[in-house]
């Protein structure tokens, strides 16, 4: 029997894929083969697995198990872990101990399995420690509103944006704010990856009742990086039912992703529509002023003394997200502490020169002259124009695009770029970078133009 089952799993993996086999079929065993009755008895851990497999893959079992057992389309019967047939089962009470939990709103009583940590919220991430700027102000305001009135304002709240821009911070801040107001609130923070893993383990180890109780009992569900349930159909099915139950009970749901809901590939339409049925907000890369404010707040927490010039210089480096920005400050502070030095601009330049290469791989074969030539093909100006003090709108636009691509495609510092373009200081270059970044977010045609120039430059240097 064991050999037959192993061969069946190998065949099934080829037909339906490894994910279905690992999630569902490995939770099942070949219990017994009744040759006289032409019946295969399969043992499943619970009714949930029985019903799903019967609904979706009965034909697969009959075809291939029949061939392996030299039988003609055998009958497939599921039995539970005790060996009794499925239609004789009676719903069993959960084996885990439970304790009552007060419900914030609604009259539905709930129970939570003992031993579950229904929180996961980091107490250090609060609204007070979040730096607000134009790039995140809407997401911040929406998160505050949700924390003040969970379940009834902006439900669900969906926050999307690139990695490291503050989405996770806002999730934890909501959790901490709700906990401060409602000490008995059941709060659950988890990543989508953890949800997927818990779901798979619940199926394989007969713990679906615990999984369902855990997720159906929360007052505030915070799920990070929900895009990772893409292309996982069974997980999406489970999350769909959890979402619907909590939403109908007016329990608050907050989700984050790196993608706008309607652009999420591999996610069912009915889930994407639910993600977008509340309020959808985004977080952009922060502008220079916000980056400086973030650094100053981080420096205050870590007791780092530095001048405004130092903060401006660090913030001017083109780090891709806030984590990298804060990491740069930590490296500078650590180097200063180890060498017993003051945090000066010269020290910062020396430390960051080793780690901020602004695209070194691409820049290893691209020089500043090549970038100027590429930009000037799209603008009626030459190098002398870009180096001039002229501030006309068109020439300034060409100069700003050149600065942006120089920083992105080479390892040159802001000072090197400013020096090349007529002796401009690094703050002027930083301002140009910030302006282009904002324009790329707001103007689709401009973004396409810059992307086209960049592709031409890179292609010509290969």
Predicted confidence (pLDDT) at residue 46 exceeds the cutoff of 50: yes
Of 371, 340, 345, 376, residue with least CA distance to 358: 371
Do 196 and 224 touch, CB atoms closer than 8 A?
Answer: no
CATH 1.10.1750.10 intervals, the chain: 360-460
Structurally, what CATH architecture does the domain formed by 360-460 represent? Orthogonal Bundle (1.10)
How far apart are alpha carbons 58 and 72 in whole angstroms? 14
pLDDT number for residue 56: 79
> Chain-centre distance of CA 136, in angstroms?
16
**308-313 mean pLDDT:** 86
64 membership: H or E segment, kind and range: helix 47-68
How far apart are alpha carbons 377 and 459 in whole angstroms? 14
pLDDT number for residue 224: 92
CATH 3.40.50.300 intervals, the chain: 137-283
376 membership: H or E segment, kind and range: helix 368-376
CATH 1.10.8.60 intervals, the chain: 288-352
User: Sorting pLDDT into bands at 50, 70 and 90, what band is 127?
Assistant: very high
User: Sorting pLDDT into bands at 50, 70 and 90, what band is 355?
Assistant: low
How far apart are alpha carbons 397 and 376 in whole angstroms? 11
111 membership: H or E segment, kind and range: strand 111-113
Dihedral sign for Cα 231, 161, 457, 351, please: negative
How far apart are alpha carbons 387 and 431 in whole angstroms? 16
User: Sorting pLDDT into bands at 50, 70 and 90, what band is 347?
Assistant: confident
Of 437, 382, 385, residue with least CA distance to 407: 437
Backbone angles phi and psi of 42, in degrees to 5: -110, 135
Cα angle vertex 239, ends 235, 244, to 5°? 155
Q: Does domain 2-86 have CATH number 3.40.605.10?
A: no
pLDDT number for residue 205: 76
Cα angle vertex 213, ends 211, 219, to 5°? 115
**130-156 mean pLDDT:** 88
Fold (CATH) for 137-283? Rossmann fold (3.40.50)
The per-residue pLDDT for range 48-60, each reduced to its tens digit, is: 677 778 877 888 8
35 membership: H or E segment, kind and range: none
Indicate the CATH number of 288-352 among 3.40.50.300, 3.50.50.60, 1.10.8.60, 3.90.1150.10: 1.10.8.60
Q: Does residue 73 come out as left (phi exceeding 0), alpha (psi in the -120 to 50 range) or beta?
A: left
> What pTM value is reported for the model?
0.57
**62-74 mean pLDDT:** 83
Average pLDDT, the chain: 80
Q: Which residue would you say has higher pLDDT here, 14 or 299?
A: 299
How far apart are alpha carbons 235 and 270 in whole angstroms? 14
SS3 28: coil
User: Sorting pLDDT into bands at 50, 70 and 90, what band is 442?
Assistant: confident
Of 332, 326, 339, 256, residue with least CA distance to 291: 326
**122-129 mean pLDDT:** 89
State the CB neighbour count (10 A cutoff) for residue 152. 12
How far apart are alpha carbons 325 and 329 in whole angstroms? 7
Q: Choose the weakest-confidence range: 14-28, 97-111, 301-315, 390-404.
A: 97-111
Cα angle vertex 316, ends 310, 319, to 5°? 115
pLDDT number for residue 359: 40
User: Sorting pLDDT into bands at 50, 70 and 90, what band is 100?
Assistant: very low
Predicted confidence (pLDDT) at residue 431 exceeds the cutoff of 80: yes
């Amino acid at each position: 029997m064991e050999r037959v089952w192993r061969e069946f799993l190998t065949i099934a993996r080829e037909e339906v894929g490894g994910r279905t086999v690992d999630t569902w079929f490995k939770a099942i065993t070949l219990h017994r083969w009744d040759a006289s009755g032409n019946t295969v008895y399969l043992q499943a851990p619970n009714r949930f697995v029985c019903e799903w497999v019967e609904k979706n893959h009965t034909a697969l079992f009959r075809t291939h198990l029949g061939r392996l057992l030299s039988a003609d389309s055998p009958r497939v019967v599921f039995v539970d872990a005790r060996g009794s047939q499925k239609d004789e089962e009676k719903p069993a009470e959960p084996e885990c101990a439970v304790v009552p939990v007060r419900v914030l709103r609604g009259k539905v009583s709930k129970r939570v399995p003992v031993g579950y940590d229904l929180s996961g919220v980091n107490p250090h991430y609060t609204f007070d420690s979040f730096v607000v700027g134009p790039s995140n102000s809407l997401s911040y305001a929406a998160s505050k509103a949700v924390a003040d009135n969970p379940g009834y304002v902006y439900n669900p709240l969906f926050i999307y944006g690139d990695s490291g821009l503050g989405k996770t911070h806002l999730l934890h801040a909501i959790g901490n704010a709700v906990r401060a107001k409602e000490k008995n609130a059941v709060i659950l923070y988890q990543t989508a990856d953890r949800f997927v893993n818990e779901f798979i383990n619940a199926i394989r180890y007969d713990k679906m009742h615990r999984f369902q109780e855990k997720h159906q009992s929360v007052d505030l569900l915070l799920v990070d990086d929900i895009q990772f349930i893409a292309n996982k159909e069974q997980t999406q099915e489970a999350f769909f039912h959890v979402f619907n139950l909590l939403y109908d009970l007016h329990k608050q749901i907050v989700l984050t992703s790196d993608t706008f809901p309607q652009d999420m590939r591999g996610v069912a339409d009915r889930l994407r529509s639910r993600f977008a049925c509340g309020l959808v907000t985004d977080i952009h890369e922060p502008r220079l002023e916000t980056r400086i404010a973030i650094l100053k707040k981080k420096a205050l927490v870590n007791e780092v003394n530095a001048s405004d010039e130092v903060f401006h210089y660090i913030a001017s480096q083109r780090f891709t997200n806030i984590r990298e920005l804060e990491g740069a400050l930590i490296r500078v502070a650590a180097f200063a502490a180890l060498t017993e030095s003051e945090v000066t601009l010269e020290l910062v330049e020396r430390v960051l020169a080793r780690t901020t290469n602004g695209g070194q791989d691409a820049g290893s074969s691209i020089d500043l002259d090549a970038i100027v030539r590429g930009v000037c093909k799209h603008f009626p100006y030459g190098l002398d124009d870009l180096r001039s003090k002229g501030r006309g709108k068109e020439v300034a636009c060409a100069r700003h695009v050149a600065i942006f691509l120089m920083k992105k495609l080479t390892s040159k510092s802001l000072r090197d770029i400013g020096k090349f373009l007529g002796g401009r200081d690094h703050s002027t270059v930083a301002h140009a970078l910030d302006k282009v970044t904002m324009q790329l977010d707001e103007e689709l045609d401009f973004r396409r133009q810059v992307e086209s120039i960049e592709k031409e430059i890179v292609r010509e240097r290969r």
